[in-house]
Copies of this chain bind each other. A is one copy, B any other.
Amino acid sequence: MADQERSYVHLFSEFEKVRSRVGGERDDVRGLLGGKGANLAEMTGLGIPVPPGFTVSTEACNAFLEAGETFPEGMWEEVLEAIGEVERDVGRRFGDPQNPLLVSCRSGARFSMPGMMDTVLNIGLNDAVVEGMVRLTGDPRFVYDLYRRLVQMFGNVVLGVPDELFEAVISRAKREADVVEDSELSADDWRAVTMRFRETVQSYAGAGFPEDPFEQLRQATEAVFRSWNGKRAIDYRNAAGIAHDLGTAVNIQTMVFGNMGDDCATGVSMSRNASNGEPELEGDFLVNAQGEDVVAGIRETQPLGDLAQAMPEMHAELKAAATALEAHYRNMQDMEFTVERGKLWVLQTRDGKRTAQAEVRIAVDMAGEGLISREEAVRRVKPDQVDFFLHPQLDREAREASQPIASGLNVSPGAAVGVVAFDADTAERWAEEGREVIMVRPETKPDDVHGMLAAKGIVTLKGGRTSHAALVARQFGKPAVVGASDMVLDMDERELKVGEIVVAEGEWLSIDGTNGHVYEGKLVTAVPDLKNPYLLKILEWADEFRRLDVRANADYPRDAQRARDYGAAGIGLCRTEHMFFETTRLPIVQRMILAKSASERREAISELLPMQREDFAGLFRAMNGLPVVIRLLDPPLHEFLPNYDELIQDLADLKVRLQHHSTMSEIDQALEDIRGKQDFLERVETLRESNPMLGTRGVRLGILIPELTRMQVRAIFEAACQVSREGLEVEPEVMIPLTHHVRELEVQQTALEEEAREVMQEQNLEIPYRFGTMIEIPRAALTAGELAERAQFFSFGTNDLTQTTCGISRDDAESGFLMHYIRNDILPRNPFATIDEGGVGRLIQIAVEDGRAVRPDIGLGICGEHGGDPESIALCHRLGLDYVSCSPFRVPIARLAAAQAALDS
Query: Residues of A with Cβ closer than 8 Å to B?
Result: 644-645, 648-649, 651-653, 655-656, 659, 689-696, 700, 703-704, 738, 740-741, 743-744, 747, 776-779, 782-783, 786, 800, 803-809, 811-813, 816-817, 820-821, 826-828, 836, 838-840, 842-843
Contact = CB atoms under 8 A, between A and B. Distances in A.
Contact of A692 (B691, B806, B827, B840): B691
B809 A695 contact: yes
Nearest to A746: B826
B838 A808 contact: no
A747 B828 CA distance: 13
Nearest to A748: B826
Nearest to A703: B826
21 contacts: A649-B652, A691-B811, A693-B807, A694-B694, A694-B803, A700-B817, A703-B820, A703-B821, A703-B826, A741-B826, A743-B827, A777-B807, A778-B804, A778-B843, A779-B805, A779-B836, A779-B838, A782-B805, A782-B839, A783-B842, A804-B807
A750 to B, nearest CB: 12
Contact of A652 (B652, B694, B695, B807): B652
A806 B826 contact: no
Top 7 A-B residue pairs of the complex, sorted by shortest distance between their CB atoms: A652-B652, A779-B839, A694-B809, A691-B809, A777-B807, A690-B811, A778-B778
A691 B810 CA distance: 9
Contacts of A656: 652, 655-656, 659
A820 B696 CA distance: 11
Contact of A808 (B655, B740, B782, B803): B740
A314 to B, nearest CB: 56
A7 B805 CA distance: 58
A826 B744 contact: yes
Contact of A805 (B744, B778, B820, B827): B778
A534 B275 CA distance: 90
Given A779-B839, A807-B740, A828-B743, A693 B690 contact: yes
Contact of A842 (B776, B782, B803, B821): B782
A776 B786 CA distance: 24
Contacts of A747: 826
- The CB with the most chain B CB atoms within 10 A, among A704, A779, A838, is that of A779
Given A783-B838, A807-B777, A817-B704, A692 B694 contact: no
A689 B814 CA distance: 11
B808 A694 contact: yes
Contacts of A649: 648, 652
A364 B280 CA distance: 99
A826 B811 CA distance: 30
A838 B694 contact: no
A648 B652 contact: yes
Contacts of A838: 779, 782-783, 786
Contact of A703 (B645, B695, B817): B817
A806 B779 contact: yes
Contact of A804 (B648, B652, B805, B842): B805
A429 to B, nearest CB: 20
A809 B689 contact: yes
A655 B836 CA distance: 49
Nearest to A808: B694
A802 to B, nearest CB: 9
- The CB with the most chain B CB atoms within 10 A, among A691, A783, A805, A816, is that of A691
Given A648-B645, A696-B817, A807-B738, A812 B691 contact: yes
A692 B692 CA distance: 10
Given A778-B843, A779-B836, 17 more contacts: A648-B648, A648-B649, A652-B652, A655-B656, A691-B809, A691-B811, A691-B812, A692-B809, A693-B809, A694-B694, A694-B804, A740-B807, A740-B839, A741-B806, A743-B827, A777-B806, A778-B806
A810 to B, nearest CB: 8
A798 B200 CA distance: 71
Contacts of A779: 805-807, 836, 838-840
Contacts of A659: 656, 659
Contacts of A738: 807
A838 B784 CA distance: 10
Contacts of A696: 812, 816-817
A827 B820 CA distance: 39
Contacts of A778: 778, 804-807, 839, 843
A695 B807 CA distance: 8
A345 to B, nearest CB: 50
Contacts of A651: 652
A744 B812 CA distance: 19
- The CB with the most chain B CB atoms within 10 A, among A783, A811, A839, is that of A839
A776 B808 CA distance: 12
Contacts of A777: 805-807
A693 B816 CA distance: 13
Contacts of A821: 703, 743
A747 B836 CA distance: 19
- The CB with the most chain B CB atoms within 10 A, among A645, A659, A690, is that of A690
Contacts of A839: 740, 778-779, 782-783
Contacts of A836: 779
Contacts of A812: 689-691, 694-696
Nearest to A654: B652
Contact of A689 (B689, B804, B816): B816
